[in-house]
Amino acid sequence: MAETTTPAPPREDGRADDELRPVRITRNWLDHAAGSVLVEFGRTRVLCAASASEGVPRWRKGSGLGWVTAEYAMLPASTHTRSDRESVKGRIGGRTHEISRLVGRSLRAVVDYRAMGENTIQLDCDVLQADGGTRTAAITGAYVALADAAASLGVSNALTDSVAAVSVGIIDGVPRLDLPYVEDVRAETDMNVVMTGAGTFVEVQGTAEGAAFTRAELDALLGLAERGCADLTRLQREALDG
Amino acid sequence: MAETTTPAPPREDGRADDELRPVRITRNWLDHAAGSVLVEFGRTRVLCAASASEGVPRWRKGSGLGWVTAEYAMLPASTHTRSDRESVKGRIGGRTHEISRLVGRSLRAVVDYRAMGENTIQLDCDVLQADGGTRTAAITGAYVALADAAASLGVSNALTDSVAAVSVGIIDGVPRLDLPYVEDVRAETDMNVVMTGAGTFVEVQGTAEGAAFTRAELDALLGLAERGCADLTRLQREALDG
Amino acid sequence: MAETTTPAPPREDGRADDELRPVRITRNWLDHAAGSVLVEFGRTRVLCAASASEGVPRWRKGSGLGWVTAEYAMLPASTHTRSDRESVKGRIGGRTHEISRLVGRSLRAVVDYRAMGENTIQLDCDVLQADGGTRTAAITGAYVALADAAASLGVSNALTDSVAAVSVGIIDGVPRLDLPYVEDVRAETDMNVVMTGAGTFVEVQGTAEGAAFTRAELDALLGLAERGCADLTRLQREALDG
Amino acid sequence: MAETTTPAPPREDGRADDELRPVRITRNWLDHAAGSVLVEFGRTRVLCAASASEGVPRWRKGSGLGWVTAEYAMLPASTHTRSDRESVKGRIGGRTHEISRLVGRSLRAVVDYRAMGENTIQLDCDVLQADGGTRTAAITGAYVALADAAASLGVSNALTDSVAAVSVGIIDGVPRLDLPYVEDVRAETDMNVVMTGAGTFVEVQGTAEGAAFTRAELDALLGLAERGCADLTRLQREALDG
Amino acid sequence: MAETTTPAPPREDGRADDELRPVRITRNWLDHAAGSVLVEFGRTRVLCAASASEGVPRWRKGSGLGWVTAEYAMLPASTHTRSDRESVKGRIGGRTHEISRLVGRSLRAVVDYRAMGENTIQLDCDVLQADGGTRTAAITGAYVALADAAASLGVSNALTDSVAAVSVGIIDGVPRLDLPYVEDVRAETDMNVVMTGAGTFVEVQGTAEGAAFTRAELDALLGLAERGCADLTRLQREALDG
Amino acid sequence: MAETTTPAPPREDGRADDELRPVRITRNWLDHAAGSVLVEFGRTRVLCAASASEGVPRWRKGSGLGWVTAEYAMLPASTHTRSDRESVKGRIGGRTHEISRLVGRSLRAVVDYRAMGENTIQLDCDVLQADGGTRTAAITGAYVALADAAASLGVSNALTDSVAAVSVGIIDGVPRLDLPYVEDVRAETDMNVVMTGAGTFVEVQGTAEGAAFTRAELDALLGLAERGCADLTRLQREALDG
């Protein structure tokens, strides 16, 4: 890892290895939803909508506890080459399932169900344009939509912390932060990290796409992710204060 | 129809009965698709993406003819109350099917398949926010995205005309143009009309939601639609020239 | 439209342009259903069964209102070339969905839900043989089955009028009534019109299959449909009186 | 079995225990299919259509052998209480699957695939009205439709024999032939038997609905079935000669 | 049948024609289920698990009666050539449906629902390795698992008898008991017979795979099956006593 | 983490915190598959079968490269409370999808596709009994089955290393190795780690079930996993040598 004597080539978009893409968080992008955010990580663009409703799913009725759930999906034309619509195929693909579950778990890590009362907030993260890091953008934006929806229900105290996510990976032996599509497809190792505002870990998902990675490489990636999530936490706070 | 002696109450948004909502057509809203348009009819907002690809479906191979097809869908949080995701339900609802077919037929009415050559253009119309008239906005925006995609393939001559669509309806006995949601739910009769730039009809779909309608009412609605489609045709031309 | 100096060729079956095919309405074709009709428009043969049951769907319980719904389907061997069974494919096609919804809406236009009380009538329109105009035959026959089912429930007064439907189209520039398959596939424009016994419109669905149509052509088609529906209304009345 | 000292009550419809219901076989009931039969066993009414096409399924191509397959289904209103449509439920039930397979196997027992050449005949057996014995009526009628379709392909010699089927059962301890619905629901044992014109067995499917049955009872049921199938074989021959 | 003057070749595994394969019934193969059995008929290996739960399906609530149901499935690698997973295909095949229903019916033949009380026992029969006779092994093993589950619920008296099943068939004109795969694929006639411990019949399912079979052949097969089921009944008793 | 002054309670099964459950790897458990392993981690029991076939999926034809894929599933009665069968539900759940993908990715990390040639190996991991750690047992066992299948194809050199997996977690503040169900449900943090025989990482998937975890806790868990995977690697080697 990065122990090469010849320096690695610079990133195509000129960023430093530990630098995020330009991040934009636009609140209230929709009129109907309780919270809605258009989040952009570079050219990746995800619409995160939080729908609030009274009551909880049947299996939770009478518990006094709230519920938060999430669905992730990509519009067909969001990808470089159009992908088929899952509603038309009649089944949700494994990747979609996996990311929906990840987004839900990540948000629930900062929810105090008792403080929510028996209310449900449903997050919908729809990728309008994909350029790498859609799941991490989804989590980062969804948290802000969730905060707005919680406020609309008068239960802002049900959020015990914020949550943000970023991708890291090793490209040409160099650990890098926040991979766009062109880096993502070339990454030897790819990791998504979800962290709280307090700097603790909610999810760590690392995959060797090419060669397996060493403990030292893993440690370097975790360090980058800690830095990236701290930056995103600040941007979330600014958006909510704005 | 409109034979009431007491004048009908004005429209909630202050428009004249034969006036469109503010229409906005933003081209190139996406980076990957061959053509993409964010079309807005008031608060209704539809993302229309046209993906161009070489080749045609198998049943058309070797014919020398192109193909144009369309899919329509609503994001879950686009509606006043969140609606379930069709990919999760595992089946497409009748309304979605119906509108996808309508959009496809409407666009194909102005396509010269031979001039296209064996290329396919796939339109995706995704409703980001729904406030009535989503299918007519979809058709109107999709035509512009189609024109851009045809240009990108170098087959602009494959479009023999433009196509636009508008809704009309009778509310409190008064025929009105371009219904927002609050009028749509109260309409006694609801009609969607698709027309070419030349002023001929591609589709006429009228439904009595309440009482059946007379021939005179039908004639009045058709007249309103002719006017609305003419306005939309002009706005499409401006967008494409812009 | 029809302004050609050379006269159009006569219809293959020798009918006048404004003449229906031989129509036969056979009541009580089944033993179990509350109402059942075998309706024939020429060689098109549709079995319409109305099943009556106490109670209404859950979303309507306690409202004091009844419910009427319909499903349309084609037997595999009903078409010129066998078509696959939708139950085997595991999903209902767009066309089937669309027609089922059309039949239901058309019938509901003449139903007084309050007079029905909390009862449900379910119409099943199964095409035994298809030769054009299956949806219009289905609506025309289903009304008669509905009337019998309403009588069996003792709520004949819940039907405020009758409803009938017919197809019209432009073939070789000539507007014609009640198209069989051979005309349907050649039609430049194809329109299905649903009307009440009182002569008002319930549904108008016109589609340009080839060239878009002018307002004058549209007016001519509507005129033909008015005549055809009036004839069908008379035949329905005779069947119910018979 | 039948060892009761008090005589069993007569059948509701007055038939002898070894007597078939009135059977009617109407050929050419449809215009498009290569063979079509409306078969009636009393009030049970099944439409059997045989569609012939050149070629065979992919897995059989180049073998020089033909193929025969069958699908069975019930119209929703065919039953005493309306049953849901399997296309709407999105899946075929176990009973439907089972009977479709039974009909196909039964017909294939008398087919010489080599004599057929690479042609396919697809049987569709749709129950228009159900009053017990629908699967046996379907097989009996389908054979006649198959014979007509084979003739239309010029391969009548591909049928090595005829095939017919009948139900038998034990009601109140008495073995009876050809059970209508009222007997079927009360039967302690229910058996469907498929036989060739030559009097050999193709399928025997016996089920204890209530108490398990003895070998002696089984033997008595088989005897009744042999008689019933012989009668049906004669009726099939008359229909084909007629 | 078997009237050949040249003696039939011996069975590949050296068994007598009326001899079962080595049968092994291993109880308590799982830790969680109320009853579980690994049953082996030669190389055929089926895991039968009986899950007991309080309560019955909704349509049976308040009746005071219990319920027993069964599902059968094959692991993909259980067959000679891997078969696709039905969960992945998204639908259960006809054969699986058919056998699940057969297993359930067979077990229910010896259940006294009233003695069970409102409890449910669900049998799962999963084929780990298939070498012919999987459905008969499943029934035979499932009975033992059912007995253990009934005991765990304290309702052993709800089983009025035992039930076992075996396959028989005609190979090269010779009736044989308990067919392994190599015989099964060559059988002219194939029959599965389910019997009670008392020697009465629950199910008889015979199919002519090649030529139709005579009454004499049928009688010979039934005789073999009676003997085989008697042997299996003894082995079940020994397993439950062991 | 583990900084409590009161010592943590010992594990229910008496193991040290860094000790695996008894692991058993039984090769050749099935007769038909090219490789098959029953792997046991304590009471968790997974049947791993590797089916080898010539040829590759269509999208890979002519590439000269092989393919390895995997499916994971649980038998209904494998869990403490019976779970519904996914084939019956008609769709695969998110968890199943996720684990199938994980198993496939993990194995592919040690496959040299070019050395495989155009052959496919399909792994089926079916959980017969679940007591925590089913996915890690599946990966560990599947590797051994894969090795046997590769040998049967004569391409043992296509495996560049071995792969094994283990779960780790924090229970009552104490990091522990290889969690059984009772620990898994109580874990504050749960991590699955997949490693090569050479000690590099293939997958790291950590999830905060309760409180988010610190970097120090993450480091401790990774250390435990390294130790556990090394032990499993040794056991795999012994099994393959045995």
Q: Residue for token digits 């594990």?
A: F11
Task: Report, as an integer, the average pLDDT of B140-151.
Answer: 98
Closest alpha carbon within chain D to E204: D206
- CA distance, residue B31 to nearest chain C CA (Å): 31
Residue C154, pLDDT > 70, answer yes
Q: What is the pLDDT of residues C223-241, one digit of tens each?
A: 999 999 999 999 999 999 9
F60 CB-near residues (< 8 Å, 6+ apart): F67, F118
D43·C36 Cβ contact <8 A: no
The pLDDT, as a whole number, for residue D219 is 96
Rounded mean pLDDT of chain C? 94
CA angle B86, B91, B94 (to 5 degrees): 90
More confident residue, D172 or F224: F224
Q: Which DSSP letter does residue C178 get?
A: S
Q: What is the pLDDT of residues C108-146, one digit of tens each?
A: 999 999 999 999 999 999 999 999 999 999 999 999 999
Helix or strand holding residue C123 (H, E): strand C119-129
Three-state helix/strand/coil letters over F203-238: EEEEEECCCCECHHHHHHHHHHHHHHHHHHHHHHHH
**Contact (Cβ atoms closer than 8 angstroms) between residue A129 and residue B32:** yes
CA distance A212 to A205: 14
The pLDDT, as a whole number, for residue B106 is 97
Residues belonging to chain C with any Cβ–Cβ distance to chain B shorter than 8 Å: 91, 93-95, 97-98, 100-101, 105, 109, 161, 191, 195-196, 198, 200-208, 211-215, 218, 222, 226
Q: What percent of chain B has pLDDT over 90?
A: 90
**What tokens appear for D179 in the block?**
């059970």
The pLDDT, as a whole number, for residue F39 is 98
Of E33, E85, E92, the CB nearest to F77: E33
**Contact (Cβ atoms closer than 8 angstroms) between residue A177 and residue A154:** no
Residue B90, pLDDT > 90, answer no
Of D203, D208, D226, the CB nearest to E201: D208
Rounded mean pLDDT of chain D? 94
Confidence of residue B1 (pLDDT cuts 50, 70, 90): very low
Confidence of residue F120 (pLDDT cuts 50, 70, 90): very high
Range with the poorest average pLDDT among A12-26, A194-208, B103-117, C7-21: C7-21
Rounded mean pLDDT of chain E? 94
Confidence of residue C209 (pLDDT cuts 50, 70, 90): confident
Residues belonging to chain F with any Cβ–Cβ distance to chain E shorter than 8 Å: 30-33, 36, 43, 47, 49-51, 53, 71, 73, 75-82, 85-92, 96, 122, 124, 126, 128-129, 131
Strand-pair partners of A74: A127
**Contact (Cβ atoms closer than 8 angstroms) between residue C191 and residue C207:** yes
Confidence of residue D5 (pLDDT cuts 50, 70, 90): low
Confidence of residue D75 (pLDDT cuts 50, 70, 90): very high
E200·D213 Cβ contact <8 A: yes
Alpha helices in B77-204 (DSSP H): 86-89, 94-108, 113-116, 134-152, 181-184
Task: Report, as an integer, the average pLDDT of F146-152.
Answer: 97
Closest alpha carbon within chain B to A88: B92
A191·F204 Cβ contact <8 A: yes
D101·E105 Cβ contact <8 A: no
Q: How far is CA C14 from the centre of its chain?
A: 23
CA distance B8 to B18: 14
Alpha helices in A177-214 (DSSP H): 181-184
Q: What is the pLDDT of residues F199-228, one digit of tens each?
A: 999 999 999 987 899 999 999 999 999 999
Closest alpha carbon within chain A to F192: A205
Confidence of residue F121 (pLDDT cuts 50, 70, 90): very high
Q: Phi then psi for C164, rounded to 5 degrees?
A: -145, 165
Residue C215, pLDDT > 60, answer yes
The pLDDT, as a whole number, for residue C5 is 54
Task: Report, as an integer, the average pLDDT of F82-108.
Answer: 92
C50 CB-near residues (< 8 Å, 6+ apart): C33, C34, C35, C36, C121, C122, C123, C124, C142, C145, C146, C148, C149, D77
ipTM (interface pTM):
0.92
- CA distance, residue A64 to nearest chain F CA (Å): 19
B213·C200 Cβ contact <8 A: yes
**Highest mean pLDDT (candidates A7-21, D3-17, D114-128):** D114-128
Annotated binding-site residue? C21? no
Cβ pairs E/F, distance under 8 A: 98
Residue E235, pLDDT > 80, answer yes
Round to the nearest angstrom and report the end-to-end CA distance of chain C: 41
B200·C211 Cβ contact <8 A: yes
The pLDDT, as a whole number, for residue C90 is 82
Task: Report, as an integer, the average pLDDT of F30-58.
Answer: 96
CA distance A139 to A41: 12
Q: Which residues of F are annotated as a binding site?
A: 95, 133-135
Task: Report, as an integer, the average pLDDT of C96-106.
Answer: 95
The pLDDT, as a whole number, for residue A197 is 97
Residue B2, pLDDT > 60, answer no
- CA distance, residue F84 to nearest chain E CA (Å): 10
The pLDDT, as a whole number, for residue B209 is 83
Confidence of residue E2 (pLDDT cuts 50, 70, 90): very low
Range with the poorest average pLDDT among A67-81, B97-111, D7-21, F169-183: D7-21
Helix or strand holding residue C45 (H, E): strand C44-54
- Which residue type sits at D212? A
Task: Report, as an integer, the average pLDDT of C208-237.
Answer: 95
Residue F1, pLDDT > 50, answer no
Q: Are strands C23-27 and C174-177 parallel, antiparallel or unpaired?
A: unpaired
CA distance D237 to D147: 11
Q: Using only C-alpha atoms, what is the Rg of chain F?
A: 18
Residues belonging to chain D with any Cβ–Cβ distance to chain E shorter than 8 Å: 91, 93-95, 97-98, 100-101, 105, 109, 161, 191, 195-196, 198, 200-208, 211-215, 218, 222, 226
Q: What is the pLDDT of residues E58-103, one digit of tens each?
A: 999 999 999 999 999 999 999 999 999 998 888 888 899 999 999 9
Residue F2, pLDDT > 90, answer no
F87·E86 Cβ contact <8 A: yes
Q: What is the pLDDT of residues D77-122, one digit of tens each?
A: 999 999 999 988 888 888 999 999 999 999 999 999 999 999 999 9
Rounded mean pLDDT of chain A? 94
Task: Report, as an integer, the average pLDDT of E8-18.
Answer: 90
A94 CB-near residues (< 8 Å, 6+ apart): F97, F98, F100, F101
Q: What is the pLDDT of residues A156-213, one digit of tens each?
A: 999 999 999 999 999 989 999 999 999 999 999 999 999 999 999 999 999 998 789 9
CA distance C180 to F122: 53
**Contact (Cβ atoms closer than 8 angstroms) between residue E146 and residue E51:** no
Closest alpha carbon within chain F to E46: F128
Task: Report, as an integer, the average pLDDT of E20-48.
Answer: 97
Q: What is the pLDDT of residues E47-56, one digit of tens each?
A: 999 999 999 9
CA distance D118 to D68: 11
Three-state helix/strand/coil letters over F88-157: HHCCCCHHHHHHHHHHHHHHHCCECHHHHCCEEEEEEEEEEECCCCHHHHHHHHHHHHHHHHHHHCCCHH
